[in-house]
Amino acid sequence: DTGVSQDPRHKITKRGQNVTFRCDPISEHNRLYWYRQTLGQGPEFLTYFQNEAQLEKSRLLSDRFSAERPKGSFSTLEIQRTEQGDSAMYLCASSRGGGRGDTQYFGPGTRLTVL
Amino acid sequence: QKEVEQDPGPLSVPEGAIVSLNCTYSNSAFQYFMWYRQYSRKGPELLMYTYSSGNKEDGRFTAQVDKSSKYISLFIRDSQPSDSATYLCAMSPILTGGGNKLTFGTGTQLKVEL
């Protein structure tokens, strides 16, 4: 399977703990996006990378959130001092970039529950 | 007011029915339109994408875009129980040299009954 993969698929943590999620994009896709989806809502953009450069961050991404994409391959999203409001599905998407549009392919997501 | 509006449903139809799913948007900069299907507790799966006004067909699915009315639709012919899922519309501007963050609707939950 050469699709987008995410790890872990599920994470349960206590409030105040730090968590880190990983995303492996489709190989040769140079753009990588993170979205967050809460129950009954569509995904909301958090941030995106072009290769290893983080080029845009949403105002939804508070100081407790940090994302990296070393060497332009996989990406990590870390949440420090988790809060119950962070409970959501965290989705990663990748795209080839270029052209008129930017067709994004999503991974299965990491479901975070903060107790 | 949200940039993209989508009726959350739920929408229940009998097997074999034609399903019509719709979104409206307010941002004239949106030029790239997509439909994703999402099964419960899974990631969104791309169904169709289009840049242009008019219709685009792929098997049982037809995507329709009316930029003058800021209205997009997805039609599903001969609906099957396996089509039961949440359908998300998504759109973005077309930015040369930059990433295109997607703005999603809330999703419409569809159930196709036997």
CA distance A51 to A29: 8
A86 pLDDT tier (thresholds 50, 70, 90): very high
Shortest Cα distance, chain B CAs vs residue A70, angstroms: 18
pLDDT at A65 over 90: yes
| Per-residue pLDDT at A60 | 83
The pLDDT mean for chain A works out to 93
B 66-95: CB under 8 A from A: 88, 90, 92, 94
| Per-residue pLDDT at A49 | 93
CA distance A115 to A3: 31
DSSP state of B81: G
Count Cβ atoms below 10 Å from residue A88 Cβ, excluding itself: 20
Search chain A and give the residue with CA nearest B43: A108
B43/A4 CB distance under 8 A? yes
pLDDT at A1 over 70: no
B68-100 per-position pLDDT tens digit: 999 999 999 999 999 999 999 999 987 666 678
Residue B8 forms contact with A (CB below 8 Å): yes
| Per-residue pLDDT at A112 | 98
Interface test with A, best of B31, B34, B35, B38 (most A CBs within 10 A): B38
Residues of chain B with pLDDT under 50: none
List all residues 6 or more positions away from A33 whose beta carbon is below 8 Å from its beta carbon: A45, A46, A47, A48, A49, A92, A93, A94, A95, A104, B99, B101, B102
